[in-house]
Structure 1
């Protein structure tokens, strides 16, 4: 029997009734049960989990159940499963959770197509469990820990190439009672040839158990949290040289593991042990502290690190209580409180925003303002409500505001930046009222009643190139930029709109991938005019002699009036133009082409402006027979000529003597 594609390892301890659904989700994979090896390790369960696993295995040839005494955590059972794995890939699934039906098929395909050693499938939470999301905003065929947000999820529910695991001799750290998966996953990330992200399918369902016994929901002690922070920062320092890359990875541990360590420190009843652990944390924080790291951290994390480094235990505990009172929540299972964190009050000074965390400008402590400066953390919330473009201009309307900054002294403007250059145009907008905007946010504390904008872009001012559209949203001296278009009203289409201006310049308004931001293509850099010109057929008029009826479509959104014609060009270069005016909103047209001029004429659909010209041939019509009519009592004809790239007609008077000879010859 060939080796399985994937070995799924389930470490189970007292997981009833969840384990039945977990195993069932593996057996129902579209990859096929015959391509999956399932190893379930019962870690000394006492609630019937062991019997349930044995019952399920009786019906599944490729499912093996291993029983062992309780080891105290998932590391040992996972390692035992790894020792027995034979699949090309390995996937770790917690007994509480379950897979989406196509999860393994999609992840294996991503790994095979991209040569990836690790594949992340989108995680969704169930029962109130919070799942990581920043790394799943789009599919990523090949990425790494520095070019994406994958490092912010270090749980092991991912697809790993077993060759990588064996080569690195990766195993879960049985010495860690919490976060035992982090060294395993982080090392695999850092050593992987490539990492893939499958974001367009719900691959892993994270379930919050009703009894609250998910391992990540348990408090553990301050010592274990400090040890985990030490372990992970040391691992990062060993794998990534000092610099921006290392700072990027350290950010995750200073923001999450350090915070959780401080939380547990605040719950430690022994003052002597608290002091000892605080000193250990102070040394660890200082060991890897850089200005680059500080610049990446949110202000509250900088404040936390400042208090730790100065060993200010009382002030640190005050900050923890302040956060708890406002419902700060942890990554994964909620650790601090179930409610979403309420933001601090703000002070706006000289174009900077300061959060009024504890001890702001306390004269005795002298904590730097930088520990409270959240200006870079403020987000712009915006929406495009209207985007209309024609041959004269682009008109945009919507609203934009800086979250938690009331729009007083508003200075919002539109920015057009020419991609690949330093060229930019800044246009003022007309500020419009937006009564009630934001009333359903932040308890209605902030009013955004003048956040609307209305602006028109004169297309004639733009030179050829791709122009990206952004807003510089300003209020109370604070200015934040945001690319425009990712948020839009339902009435605003994402379809590309292409037109030709009165000056003869091709312009396309389109949305970029994957985020849907707005850009203007001036001069056919990416969006061509010619595909918008199409002839669908030609036939002789049933009512008007010597008239060819040409049908087609011009799908341009706009063009100069009279610029579109059917051109009949003779061998001597002489041209006859018949204007074409689409009669419906979809651009379809019917043109009546008189064919009375003697000679050969090649037919073309042409858009002509003062500065440019676009043409498509009227295609040959194999079923078009010659036309015959009489003029002044004499017979005339028009017939298509074979072997031409465009429909070419020969028009002439029938020579009676030749016609008689041909008729006699046929007899």
Structure 2
């Protein structure tokens, strides 16, 4: 890796950051994008904007020229259409004069303090790349907003240890000297993913990187008009070019070993790896001769690198496709591609001799050592006097055989203590996706001895092969995920944690209920019964446990009768004499002590 650079001194040009904007048919957004650069809280002359129009057919170029009129900060260039952001980014980079370069997409925007903060961190730490947290605005976006690397702010850290390698988009602050000294440019020839080898090479030649996660610094615009490049897609042959370029970048800039293997997982076995080439779109996009050439090219590059340290981190479909490609088995690759195109699972069978699941091609050895997952779907959770009843189903995709046994496991998050509960596996059904077990099991809170968070897992066993999965990550559509209170007084809370897994907080030791807001409660009826007034409340009342009333500011709070009729309806009964007073108020409390106060005048409205 590159030596730690000396503290960056003053730039002879006085420019701290060159913002390069590749532009293609963004007439609706380009002014807002440019203005977000001009709104940065940096001194005059610290920024330059290099906008490169890539042969737009709309009014983008004219808008840019108007924005640049009588201004010295915006430099507008026009080039013939290249079909991707790579060429205009390279064009802008060659003309950049700042100490740092930031590549801003023509429909995105900065937060006002983004560049000053990113530059300050780069100057202070000497990091070659500085990442700022990203956020989404506008409509839906074709891809997800990167989030893995932004759990917390980190200074001068390794790009692998910090998980920065999980985000390879170009929306970062780059030290320009590193880019120029190491000839780091965006590769041409494909339109999606050209920023991946660029960013990877910048990471590899940086002494370290820094991450700012305290706020959103870069705003990605969601567009549902289908005109942005990511939404239009590219054929599998271009994805092959993308992943092979990224593989070459990694291999050319690393030594063999764990770090290299770790980085190679993404282009080979990751979600956008081999399946984007030989997956569901291959047969429709390419003829037989093209497919054969693609397999040959992939095999030549990947076969020498393919090892268990990479392979063990892929899903079965990816493991199978790479194994077949390394063998050069185009016929079987086509079979798997056809299954994926029709949204069918790859068929698996159980190898009794080796106690493992395998894929059996028509010719050659079976493909084993697969990283299979237990596909489970949680259907409902019902509270009982001392626990919950969980209903759902599970199985392995493509496997037409039920497990020999299965259990629910509760594991204490800190202590590691485990409690198991056997699942009845007698109810099964088989479809094209494989065999599923339908289950209903009772989890008793009284069996848990230690307070704290208990995580729930489901474990299934075929002979000596065990597959375990976190329970609750997959759920039926529309399932209520609100926390469930167990016991009265409260003994525990059943909830879905940050990973979406089902957990039980015995004690409880944390707060899980979102306090009900006043605007969520509505009076649907009120009437008098003898000397009392009954208010019928509609809203999220299922976890409310008590009600009280205060006749006026000078009176003491007194218990009110509180009756819950359903998850969203309850009645509150208070004396008629108190209800008549102008300052009367009612307070509701949930099982965790959260309260919401309602003035009686509001209820009368």
TM-score norm. by structure 1 comes to: 0.57
1:414 aligns with 2:408: yes
2:454 alignment partner in structure 1: 468
Q: C-alpha displacement at 1:242, in angstroms?
A: 3.6
1:231 alignment partner in structure 2: 245
Pairing partner for 1:297 from 314, 329, 332? 314
Deviation sequence 1:235-275 (CA, Å, 0-9, x none): 2234444444433321221144555555898766694x876
Given that 1:240 and 1:246 are in contact with CA atoms closer than 8 Å, whether structure 2 keeps it comes out as yes
Deviation sequence 1:623-644 (CA, Å, 0-9, x none): xxxxxxxxxxxxxxxxxxxxxx
Q: Distance in 2 between matches of 1:4 and 1:140?
A: 30
Deviation sequence 1:56-86 (CA, Å, 0-9, x none): 3338663321234556753342133234446
Given that 2:455 and 2:501 are in contact with CA atoms closer than 8 Å, whether structure 1 keeps it comes out as no
**CA distance 1:199–1:396, change in 2 (3 Å):** farther
Pairing partner for 2:221 from 178, 191, 205? 205
Task: Give the count of matched residue pairs.
Answer: 489
Query: What value does the CA root-mean-square deviation take over the aligned residues?
Result: 5.4
Given that 1:31 and 1:104 are in contact with CA atoms closer than 8 Å, whether structure 2 keeps it comes out as yes
Given that 2:169 and 2:195 are in contact with CA atoms closer than 8 Å, whether structure 1 keeps it comes out as yes
1:285 alignment partner in structure 2: 302
Q: C-alpha displacement at 1:185, in angstroms?
A: 0.9
Q: Distance in 1 between matches of 2:119 and 2:405?
A: 48
Q: Distance in 2 between matches of 1:54 and 1:105?
A: 26
Pairing partner for 1:401 from 386, 394, 398? 394
Given that 1:11 and 1:43 are in contact with CA atoms closer than 8 Å, whether structure 2 keeps it comes out as yes
Pairing partner for 1:493 from 483, 486, 492? 483
Q: Distance in 1 between matches of 2:30 and 2:93?
A: 18
Given that 2:408 and 2:423 are in contact with CA atoms closer than 8 Å, whether structure 1 keeps it comes out as yes
**CA distance 1:469–1:50, change in 2 (3 Å):** closer
Q: C-alpha displacement at 1:317, in angstroms?
A: 4.3
Deviation sequence 1:620-666 (CA, Å, 0-9, x none): xxxxxxxxxxxxxxxxxxxxxxxxxxxxxxxxxxxxxxxxxxxxxxx
1:518 alignment partner in structure 2: 503
Given that 2:395 and 2:435 are in contact with CA atoms closer than 8 Å, whether structure 1 keeps it comes out as no
SS where residue 169 of structure 2 aligns?
A: coil
Q: C-alpha displacement at 1:428, in angstroms?
A: 3.6
**CA distance 1:61–1:110, change in 2 (3 Å):** closer
Q: Distance in 2 between matches of 1:177 and 1:194?
A: 29
Pairing of 1:38-437 with structure 2 (within 5 A): 38-45=49-56, 47-58=58-69, 62-68=73-79, 74-85=85-96, 90-95=101-106, 97-99=107-109, 103=111, 105=113, 117-119=129-131, 121-122=133-134, 130-132=142-144, 135=147, 139-142=151-154, 146=160, 151-156=165-170, 158-162=171-175, 165=178, 169=182, 171-174=184-187, 176-178=189-191, 179-190=193-204, 191=206, 192-195=208-211, 203-205=219-221, 207=223, 210=226, 217-219=233-235, 222=237, 228-255=242-269, 256=272, 258-260=274-276, 271=289, 278-323=295-340, 325-326=341-342, 341-345=343-347, 347=349, 360-362=360-362, 365-370=363-368, 373=370, 376-382=372-378, 385-386=381-382, 395=388, 397=390, 399=392, 401-402=394-395, 404=397, 411-419=405-413, 423-428=417-422
Q: C-alpha displacement at 1:295, in angstroms?
A: 1.4
**CA distance 1:270–1:149, change in 2 (3 Å):** same
Unaligned runs of 5+ in 1: 327-340, 502-506, 528-541, 543-548, 552-582, 589-667
SS where residue 252 of structure 1 aligns?
A: helix
Deviation sequence 1:6-55 (CA, Å, 0-9, x none): 6432112xx33x24413423424796486764321124546544223212
Q: Distance in 1 between matches of 2:229 and 2:259?
A: 36
Q: Distance in 1 between matches of 2:197 and 2:220?
A: 21
Q: Distance in 1 between matches of 2:121 and 2:486?
A: 30
Given that 2:89 and 2:186 are in contact with CA atoms closer than 8 Å, whether structure 1 keeps it comes out as no
SS where residue 302 of structure 1 aligns?
A: helix
Unaligned runs of 5+ in 2: 1-10, 512-553, 559-587, 594-605
TM-score norm. by structure 2 comes to: 0.61
Pairing partner for 2:29 from 18, 21, 41? 21
Pairing partner for 1:481 from 468, 473, 482? 468
Deviation sequence 1:490-547 (CA, Å, 0-9, x none): 463389999898xxxxx898876565763546798x99xxxxxxxxxxxxxx9xxxxx
Given that 2:481 and 2:495 are in contact with CA atoms closer than 8 Å, whether structure 1 keeps it comes out as no
Given that 1:510 and 1:519 are in contact with CA atoms closer than 8 Å, whether structure 2 keeps it comes out as yes
Q: C-alpha displacement at 1:187, in angstroms?
A: 2.0
Q: Distance in 2 between matches of 1:587 and 1:261?
A: 52
Q: C-alpha displacement at 1:207, in angstroms?
A: 4.2
**CA distance 1:414–1:214, change in 2 (3 Å):** closer
SS where residue 91 of structure 1 aligns?
A: strand
Larger-gyration structure (1/2): 1
